[in-house]
Structures are given as structure tokens and as C-alpha cells.
């Protein structure tokens, strides 16, 4: 379930205040934000429950792409040749797309 935005306040120095309000059916509310905005969202998030019973907040953090690639056996660098890259793919299923 998502709550609609009821009020937006934009300040001249680039900050914005977005208020969502509504009745929640169930026990969970999901809000989605772009990854680059997460730091600011978490610093300024305020949750108010009319009954005063907010029991917790959870958020998922997608894995950092660079760390994910670094953990894989496929090593991408300016010094590796095409042969080196193809060797690391040995035994894997590979799909190749071309523009031709």
C-alpha cells in the first residue's frame, strides 16, 4: 500500500518537505525512493502514527554494483585483454547481444 502525497513545501535553497497522509490498512507501508536520495531520506524521515504505535522501520539496501562486480570472478580492468575476460567466463552460461 502507498499513501498519497497531501502537501509539498519547497524551499528556495533546494530542500523540499513532502507529507503523505492517509489510513493504513494492514501493518506495512512501502515507500520507494531512488538510491541516490536514500541518505537524505533517512536523515529526515519522520513517521507519526495517530495512535503512537510505530514499532519500527526497515529498509532494504541494494548491493553496491562495484562491490558486486568485485566479488565475482569476472575481473574488469583496463589491463585485462579480451582473452583474459573470456577465460574467466569458462563454464558459465553467456548471452551475447550485438547491434548487427
pLDDT means per 10 residues, the chain with 100 residues, are: 86 86 79 81 80 73 69 72 81 83
Handedness of CA 46, 47, 51, 57 (dihedral sign): negative
Retrieve residue 60's grid coordinates: 532494504
pLDDT at 10: 93
- Calpha distance 92→98 (Å, rounded): 19
pLDDT at 71: 67
pLDDT at 60: 73
Amino acid at each position: 500500500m502507498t499513501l498519497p502525497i497531501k502537501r509539498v513545501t519547497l524551499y528556495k535553497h533546494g530542500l523540499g518537505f513532502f507529507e503523505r497522509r492517509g489510513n493504513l490498512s494492514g501493518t506495512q507501508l512501502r515507500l520507494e525512493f531512488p538510491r541516490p536520495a536514500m541518505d537524505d531520506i533517512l536523515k529526515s524521515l519522520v513517521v507519526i502514527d495517530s495512535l503512537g504505535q510505530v514499532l519500527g522501520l526497515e529498509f532494504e539496501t541494494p548491493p553496491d554494483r562495484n562491490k558486486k562486480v568485485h566479488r565475482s570472478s569476472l575481473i574488469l580492468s583496463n589491463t585485462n585483454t579480451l582473452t583474459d575476460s573470456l577465460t574467466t567466463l569458462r563454464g558459465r552460461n553467456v548471452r551475447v547481444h550485438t547491434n548487427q
